[in-house]
Amino acid sequence: MRFAAVFALACAGACSALALSLSPEDEAARDIALQWLGVVDSGNYKDATLLISEQVRGSRDWTKYFAAHRAPLGRVNNRKIAEVKYASTVPGDPEFRRHAIVRFKTSFEHKAAAKEEIVLTKMGCCWEVMGYEIN
């Protein structure tokens, strides 16, 4: 049930993210990023951490990171996709493989303008969250 509510929240956010012209692969990366952000937005930092790729999960204390950097911002007012870029390598992942960097412009209850960046890596057929930064 909780996942269904989170997924519905993510889909609602996706509606505001449609202004940018996206390829099907861009849309797949965006959708995974939005689903994961829905878990973060709900304040369920433990589950958000468990959804991060096992390869980088231990690279940072994600729960503390979310508590320090995301929680003070409050609820999301608006989130719009800014861009989707691709790279063969990213910091923290020594392997050569497809990565998507999905950037959003987000307005929060306590911060009118923020930039969120979600790094995803292609593992087989699916995208996995590898990193998150908010400024």
Cβ count near 51 (within 10 Å):
17
pTM for the whole structure: 0.81
> Over the stretch 81-128, which tens digit does the pLDDT of each residue have?
999 999 887 776 667 778 999 999 999 999 999 999 999 998 888 999
Residue range 36-51: mean pLDDT, rounded: 97
Can you name the residues that pair with 134 across neighbouring β-strands?
Answer: 116
Backbone angles phi, psi at 130, to 5 degrees: -110, -20
